[in-house]
Amino acid sequence: MFEIIQAVFSAGVALALLTFAGITLGGSVVACIISTPLFVIFSPVLVPATIATTLLASGNVQGGTYQKFQD
């Protein structure tokens, strides 16, 4: 009797988790569909901003490294 209750409960939990996984997958697909055109439209701004941010961050890290070894 306990095994039957356990199997029914496990099936219900599995169904709930599959439902949540499906909702998450659907939301991810919708988000990708919506955000892809925005990335294409704003890419002339995003690419130079990414390059500048990367250079600034690496410069700050390198400057901090030099400061550490000079003390």
The predicted-structure confidence for 18-68, as pLDDT tens digits, reads as follows 999 999 999 999 999 999 999 999 999 999 999 999 999 999 888 877 766
* pLDDT at residue number 51: 97
Tell me the mean pLDDT in the region 10-14: 97
Length of the chain: 71
Coil, strand or helix at 1: coil
For 41, phi then psi, to 5°, come to -65, -45
Residue spans of the domains in the chain: they are 1-71
Segment 16-22 long-range contacts (CB within 8 Å, at least 24 positions apart) = none
* pLDDT at residue number 71: 55
* C-alpha span between 57 and 41 (Å, rounded): 26
* pLDDT at residue number 68: 63
Give 69's pLDDT tier (boundaries 50, 70, 90).
Answer: low
